[in-house]
Amino acid sequence: MSRVGIVGAGQLGRMMALAGYPLNIRCHFLDRSADAPAAQVAPILLGGLEDPAKLRQLAHGSDVLTFDWENVPAAALKKLRGQVTIRPSVRSLSVSQDRLLEKRLFSQLRIPVAPHAAINSLADLVRAGRELGPHGVLKTRRLGYDGKGQAVIRTVREQSPAWETLRGTPLIYERFMPFSHEVSLVAVRAPRGEIRFYPLTRNTHQGGILRLSIAPHIDPGLEGRARTYMRRVLKALGYVGVMAIEFFVVDGKLIANEMAPRVHNSGHWTIEGCPSSQFENHLRAICALPLGATHALGHAAMINFIGKMPDPKRLLQIEGLAFHDYGKQPRPARKLGHCTILSATAALRDRALKRALKQIQWA
């Protein structure tokens, strides 16, 4: 039996705990909320994610420590490094917590990114608008997710209001990318360096929140390139576990948008769609077990339930649909669950997807 301590007890941790049980990997959690999604399926330690005493307690009962949220305070984790193995490493976490460091890493590794600039004043923003173009996005460097901490700027006039909304924390300005679509790659790396890639996935966002993933997204050229970039990042960080990188596709080329040092929403379809899910493979990797197969078993679509849960009785009538309820209270823009369709052909998948979308309202 391996004992895995997980900092954060959201839906990602919940699905990890459920993937762990068959392998006799027992996950336990640290989180503020006794009713957090993972706390409904596994033991939880109640406390703040940065509480040193609680973190030590979690580490004490764990063979390996991981996290289900990339905004876990890296400094707090760093103090545990002598006590317990932390996978992925605190360095991987730190880099991905800061959009500027992340972009610098990508650039060092010759992975294309959007033209960008660090912003610490309105003057910086005005200069960046002049140099990079006035159409762009102003983002907080840290603690952004699901579209939070971002302001779209279309004209020079919108620079000042955007600055006023986000000022007070280090920012980054990125030139708007006229992308045709968004894809992501999820991969897993074992302690001894073996890497496995899940099939490329095509994603649709609205309001900064992932709505829909389609996999496999068949484009061998893009997929090969994405794998090359992913391999560079994983090696550079000496990474262990599952990582996701999101890309914009601009003129048929990949522009890296961001990386997540954890299992990722665009990999949820792998629960039904691959022999070993991203959750299982993250656990296998951090527990130094052999990695599982990552090929697609069919054609999958994943739809997020946002703000409002659909009626399971209606959705479950759709053949080959799997339903995932995270056990959360509904709230606008909150990810409450998802469903995955797995079909033998892309055409069948698309037909089922159309039926499923009729049952789902995003709130």
Enumerate binding residues for a second copy (CB under 8 A).
Answer: 1, 14, 18, 21-24, 26, 40-41, 272, 275-276, 284, 289-290, 292-293, 297-298, 312-313, 316-317, 319-320, 322-325, 327, 342
The answer to whether the beta carbons of residues 248 and 182 sit under 8 Å apart is yes
Distance from C-alpha of 189 to C-alpha of 209, rounded to nearest angstrom: 27
Q: 283, 240 in Cβ contact below 8 A?
A: no
For residue 265 the two structure tokens come to 């929403």
Residue 343 C-beta: closest distance to a second copy, Å: 9
Least Å distance, CB 187 to a second copy, is: 17
Give the nearer residue to a second copy in terms of CB position, either 129 or 199. Answer: 199
Q: Shortest approach of a second copy to residue 361 CB, angstroms?
A: 18
Region of 254 please: left (phi>0), alpha (psi -120 to 50) or beta. Answer: beta
Q: Please, which residues bridge with residue 347 across strands?
A: none
d(CA 75, CA 77): 5
- 8 vs 20 by CB, closer to a second copy: 20
DSSP state string for 238-304: T--EEEEEEEEEETTEEEEEEEESS--GGGTTHHHHSSS-HHHHHHHHHTTPPPPP---SSEEEEEE
The smaller minimum CB distance to a second copy, of residues 61 and 327, is found at 327
What's the closest the beta carbon of residue 129 comes to a second copy, in angstroms? 46
The smaller minimum CB distance to a second copy, of residues 234 and 271, is found at 271
To 10 degrees, what angle do helices 278-286 and 11-20 make? 70
Q: Residue 40 or 71: which CB sits closer to a second copy?
A: 40
CB of 154 to a second copy, least distance (A): 41
Smaller CB separation from a second copy, 157 or 313 = 313
* Smallest distance, a second copy to C-beta of residue 289, A: 5
Residue type, 208: G
What does the alpha-carbon distance between residue 184 and residue 62 come to, in Å, rounded to a whole number?
31
Kindly tell me which of 121 and 317 has the beta carbon lying closer to a second copy: 317
Q: How far is the CB of 184 from a second copy (least distance, A)?
A: 22
